[in-house]
Amino acid sequence: MTLGKGLSKKHLCLSLLASVVAACGAETPAFQEKTMAVLMDQQQNAEGFSSESYDNTADATVATSDEDELVDDGSVDALQLPQGDEASDLTVDVKDSQLRFGAQTTSISTSLGGNKTDDVVYKAIAPAGKDPGAIINGNTYVSPVSGTEAYEVKIIAVSKSDPTQTSSTVLKLEPSTQVFAGCTNDLKGFPIKADVYQIPEGSQRLPDFTAFSKTSATACMEAFQIPNRAWSDGFPGQPSLIEWFAIRATSNLTTNSNGKYYFKLNADDGAKLYIDGQLVVDNDGQHAEKAVVGSINLTKGQHEIVVEYFQGPRYHIALELFWKTPGSSTYTYVPASAFKP
């Protein structure tokens, strides 16, 4: 998700056009300057960002574009760069490329020529009318407190000592109430990948997932923390799929110690839990919300985890995974931090 920035094509074209104006007999330098000013003003208006977007002292800026979505094509729209012949060696990345609203945080890091550098200033830009969040403590991004629609925020880094070095990356924001999010390429913020399949109406048990030739949708999750709730959201690309579907969710589970782990899988309707290919909890069947407990001995480290789930008739779903780790006497949610892509 890292993007670079070289010489602006529009800026180069404008410079060439000004030269042509002079070569063709413009009478005065003032005429040339006026022509260039008008062209630059047209360029800024076409790009859709206000003069505030060019103020490098602000931590976050709302773009004034009429577009509902930022399109990051490798250019840094919010900052006009000086002319230069070399592409930027600066690269910027965020630890989590996907966050929820609610003041969630992620760290930002930048490299110059492959070496980490702190000699940068960051800016966050959002689509028109959207809250871009904030950048605090120099390199920490904080998502907006609230939001009801998913959108993207562009994080821009500019070298303090050499402003021609700049780079950007895109971070996706998701509503806190949205259970299944769209997947990004790196899966950092939502490390559980869920393949969704439509199943025959009247199904009483989990399907044979190997029999499916293709998925109906693919979504991503932070964790298995869906308490019993009304369900009418559907999935990314399949908003009408609210009943008679099955999910096969995969990730890697990180454990911090050796020992016996107890897992409690609560579901409405059926679900199963597999770890390293071993069935740990069987809570299958069409039923109201119900929890089943299982256990397994695990070593410290990462383990392949698979959760299978199906939803029968509408309107409620539940899918929660708890654990009791070695030395603990209580069940807690398996936290999002325990899952890795």
Q: What secondary structure does DSSP assign to 62-130, as a single string? A: E---S-SS---SS--TTSPPPP-SS---EEEEES-SEEETTT-EEEEEEEETTEE---EEEEEEESTTS
Averaged pLDDT, 250-276? 97
Averaged pLDDT, 36-53? 40
pLDDT in tens, 93-139: 998 888 889 998 999 999 998 899 999 999 999 999 999 999 999 99
Averaged pLDDT, 22-38? 45
Q: How far apart are CA 201 and CA 205, in angstroms?
A: 11
Averaged pLDDT, 188-209? 94
pLDDT in tens, 227-260: 998 888 888 889 899 999 999 999 999 999 999 9
User: Structure tokens of 96?
Assistant: 């989590």
| Residue 87 pLDDT | 60
Residues 6+ apart with CB under 8 A from 33: none
Task: Report the alpha-carbon angle 188-192-194, nearest 5.
Answer: 130
DSSP-derived letter for residue 334 is: P
Averaged pLDDT, 320-341? 95
Residue 19 has pLDDT above 70, yes or no: no
| Residue 182 pLDDT | 82
The residues spanned by each domain of the chain are 2-6+51-174, 192-340
Task: Read off the pLDDT band of 92 (50, 70, 90).
Answer: very high
CB 53 within 8 A of CB 125: yes
Residue 171 host element (H or E)? strand 166-174
- CATH, range 2-6+51-174: 2.60.40.1930
User: Structure tokens of 153?
Assistant: 């925020």
Pick the CATH number of 192-340 from 3.40.50.300, 2.60.120.1560, 2.40.10.170, 3.30.390.10: 2.60.120.1560
Task: Read off the pLDDT band of 297 (50, 70, 90).
Answer: very high
Q: How far apart are CA 250 and CA 283, in angstroms?
A: 17
What average pLDDT is seen over the chain?
Answer: 80
